[in-house]
Amino acid sequence: MSATDISTSAAPAVHTGRPWQRDLIGIAVILLAAIGGYFLFPDNLALLTRIIAIMLLVLSLDLVTGYCGVATLGHAALFGAGAYAAGIAAVTFGITEPLSMIGIGAIAGAVAGLVSGVVILRGHGLAQLVLSIAVIHLFHEAANKASTYTGGSDGLSGIAPDPLFGLFEFDLWGRTAYAFGIVLLVLVFVLLRILVRSPFGMLCRGIRQDPIRVSAMGASVKASLIKMYVISGAVAGIGGALNAVSTQVVGLDSLSFTNSAEALVMLVLGGAGSLYGAFVGTIVFMWFEHVVSAANPFHWLTIVGALLITVVLFAPKGLYGTAANLAKRFARSRP
């Protein structure tokens, strides 16, 4: 038995003879979507860049929830740590070189991942979920209290990143930030695909499906989960730092329970345990949010509710997981 119920909704790995082919297609689709987004929505690049940052958060959540089966409603702690670290580095310590800010965000996210992993993994099932909620509230409160550095509830502003590579200014239209985000996303995605296919990635998938079997193989469940939490933290931290670089402000909402819960909703919507579902879920959720909440904020919540109920009841593997399953069945039914 797996440790959590969320994990049962994970998409099954699709078994193809040439897995790299699928990833090359995946990367091609991301790049095409990125280019399409750039030309179709030139006035919405800021939103698209925010979607990329949140995608990194949802990818990071997929590592611990989809692959390892850890239930958490506190994952924004890792994202927020990256955002604040990058912001504070720029405002307080004058480190405004964008790549350094991203690096600092990744490290801070990894540290936050270590801390929250150590706390959350002490519990199982419901206790784990409650601990994760406690973690996000503690992070939120810490950022609120440390207002000298974080700006407290006013948010941290005045982040002014240098031009990228000394060449590309972060312009008003957000073109540089968008391109920067896409490159970061593709890099992270490639590394994560390698990771989830590695022996360590297999071990983590094993932990989600049967931790007792894993320990009966002589592997350490706890140490592997903590390692994955640290990696996950680095990924979320990059997302947070990207958000700080592109919006040039960091608010307490980045460290909020709402942000954590929405990330989980996006993951469930898209489908956990494949990385691809994280993309699909984030785009669908945030795009709908953008379109519908602009028209009517009340309807937005109704639609989220209806969407979630539909997906959980009728497509428990998420949008991507269900589509992948259908494609697999279709491929099998053909001779």
CB of 267 to another protein, least distance (A): 17
DSSP code, position 252: G
Main-chain dihedrals φ then ψ at residue 11, nearest 5 degrees: -75, 140
Main-chain dihedrals φ then ψ at residue 164, nearest 5 degrees: -70, 130
Angle at 100 between CA 42 and CA 167, to 5 degrees: 50
- 313 contacts another protein (rule: CB under 8 A): no
Residue ranges in the chain assigned as alpha helix (H): 19-40, 45-61, 76-91, 98-120, 126-145, 147-150, 175-197, 199-209, 211-216, 221-247, 257-270, 276-295, 297-314, 318-333
Single-letter amino acid, residue 95 = I
Where in 212-251 is the site for another protein (CB under 8 A)? 212-213, 215-221, 224, 227
Q: Can you tell me which of 10, 115, 121, 129 binds another protein, judged by CB under 8 A? A: 10
Cα 79 to the chain's mean position, in Å? 8
Where in 151-180 is the site for another protein (CB under 8 A)? none
- 21 contacts another protein (rule: CB under 8 A): no
Q: Can you tell me which of 15, 329, 332, 334 binds another protein, judged by CB under 8 A? A: 15
| Region label for 132, one of left (φ > 0), alpha (ψ between -120 and 50) or beta (otherwise) | alpha
CB of 198 to another protein, least distance (A): 5
CB of 167 to another protein, least distance (A): 31
Binding mask 28-67 for another protein (x = CB under 8 A): ----------------------------------------
- 195 contacts another protein (rule: CB under 8 A): yes
Q: Can you tell me which of 180, 205, 256, 304 binds another protein, judged by CB under 8 A? A: 205
Q: Tokens 């909620």 identify what position? A: 133
| Residues at the site binding another protein, with contacts judged by CB under 8 A | 10, 12-13, 15, 194-195, 197-203, 205-206, 209-210, 212-213, 215-221, 224, 227
